[in-house]
Structures are given as C-alpha cells and as structure tokens.
Amino acid sequence: MSDIMKITWHGHSAFEIEGKYRTLVDPFFTGNRMARVGWQEMKPDVIAVTHGHSDHLGDTINIARSTGCTIVAISELADYLGRLALRTVDLNFGGTVDLGARYSLVPAVHSSGVEEGGLGIDAGSPAGFIIEDGKTVYHAGDTALFSDMVIIKELYKPEIAMLPIGGRFTMDIKAASIAAALIRPEIIIPMHYNTFEYNKADVVAFKLSVESSTDTEVIIPVPGEPIDL
Ligand code: NI
Ligand code: MN
C-alpha cells in the first residue's frame, strides 16, 4: 500500500503510529530514560497494550484518563483496565477489531501480569499487534523467537515490523536477525534496547546482520524523531 504513515519511537517499545488515526503502543514514558517527551503530550485515538509489565503498560492509565482514548488489549488485561473505568476494547489471538484502524492480536512468547501494591494480578497472555492503518505494521511486543512468525507473515504480510533486540527478557540481535528472515518486511525498526543495563544491544550490528542477508531495511530510530514511511 502506498498510504503515508508516520512512526515515532519514544524509546523501549513505545511507538506513536500515525496513519488516518493515531495509535500509541506500549506508552512507557515515566522511568524511560530514552523518552524525550512526557506522557502528558500524548493525544492518541487508541492505545494498544501488548502485555501488563510496567515497561509496556507504562503511562496507559494516565493517558487514557486525560484523553478519554480507547485502549485495546487481550481480554484479561482489558478487563483489568475496564475495572478502572477506562474505555476498553478486548480481543484475543487471531481476532481483529476495527476501530477506524484495524488491530489484530498475535502471540508472543513471553509472560504477563500487572503489579499493583506489590501484588501480581493476572493480565492474560502476552501479545503482539498487527495494526492496519494504510500500511500494515507488526509490533512484536516482548517475545522470544518463534517459528509461527512465518504464519504472521503469511496472514498479514506486514510491511513494517518492530522487533525487540535487547536480550535477557526478549530476543537478542542473533534471534531477531532470524525473526527478520522469517517475517521479511520491507522495514524493521528495532526496539526494547539500550533503555536499561539489562538490554544493551549493538543496533548497528543488528542492521548489518539483517541487511547483509535479506532485502529488509533496518531503520535505527531516534527517540522523538518521526520516521515518514
Ligand atoms: Ni515484558
Ligand atoms: Mn519489556
């Protein structure tokens, strides 16, 4: 598709995706040293949350309270947020909801849960999103490498993929390079790296690895600077 899309990385897994609609994915601003702006500047139509971990749920509650935007998430996480009187839309793996832009939930190999007052609350399974808003984007969430990425390619044919490369809690650059070869999008934007001590990664090595073995272009994002696609 040839529609214009603008994507802005705010560090870690936080992205603004602007086609006809404005989608915010995993809006982690408070405590995210890569973010150049605060959550108060976010005015999304929709927030897509991949899982309940605090570095992904992030500032979702504050942004949704202040803007009245819709939150889309897997059923259990949507239920949790719905109990806080936020506007939520739930879905599950293999399903799609059309909120102007289309959101589909795909698996991620990871864990989930919300921490509240030292207690763990069930947040269902961790997920990735396919977002169709002119172009088709795959945000993988936190995940290990898994072979069903081939099915994600077959079913949705994402043109742009955001993949975690930081290791320890997700794929590292070796695994993400294999993921790139399974998904073969036009563009990969790496994420979930160099935020903390635990996820340092050589993003230039990742770019060279992918671009020397596939036709995919790796765009190294700069926090706060929009990428026009
Ligand atoms: Ni996580
Ligand atoms: Mn994470």
Q: Which residues fall within 8 angstroms of residue 66, CB to CB, at 6 or more apart?
A: 40
Kindly indicate the confidence band of residue 2, based on its pLDDT and cuts at 50, 70 and 90.
Answer: low
Write out pLDDT tens, residues 75-127.
Answer: 999 999 999 999 999 999 999 999 999 999 999 999 999 998 889 999 999 99
CA of 162 to the centre of ligand 1 (A): 15
Starting from the edge strand earliest in sequence, which strands make up the sheet with 70-74, in order?
A: 88-91, 70-74, 46-48, 22-25, 15-18, 6-9, 227-228
Q: Which residues surround ligand 2, an ion (CB under 5 A)?
A: 55, 142
Cα(11)–Cα(223) distance, integer angstroms: 6
CA of 3 to the centre of ligand 2 (A): 30
The one-letter amino acid code at 80 reads Y
Report H helices in the chain: 54-57, 60-67, 75-82, 149-156, 173-183, 203-213
Kindly indicate the confidence band of residue 170, based on its pLDDT and cuts at 50, 70 and 90.
Answer: very high
Nearest ligand to the C-alpha atom of residue 52? 1
CA of 4 to the centre of ligand 1 (A): 30
Q: Check pLDDT > 90 for residue 198.
A: yes
CA of 169 to the centre of ligand 2 (A): 7
CA of 56 to the centre of ligand 2 (A): 6
Q: Which residues fall within 8 angstroms of residue 189, CB to CB, at 6 or more apart?
A: 7, 9, 15, 160, 161, 162, 163, 218, 219, 221, 227
CA of 65 to the centre of ligand 1 (A): 23
- As a whole number, mean pLDDT of residues 139-161 equals 98
CA of 47 to the centre of ligand 2 (A): 16
CA of 207 to the centre of ligand 1 (A): 23
Write out pLDDT tens, residues 206-222.
Answer: 999 999 999 999 999 99
CA of 37 to the centre of ligand 2 (A): 20
Write out pLDDT tens, residues 30-86.
Answer: 999 999 999 999 999 999 999 999 999 999 999 999 999 999 999 999 999 999 999
Cα(90)–Cα(92) distance, integer angstroms: 7
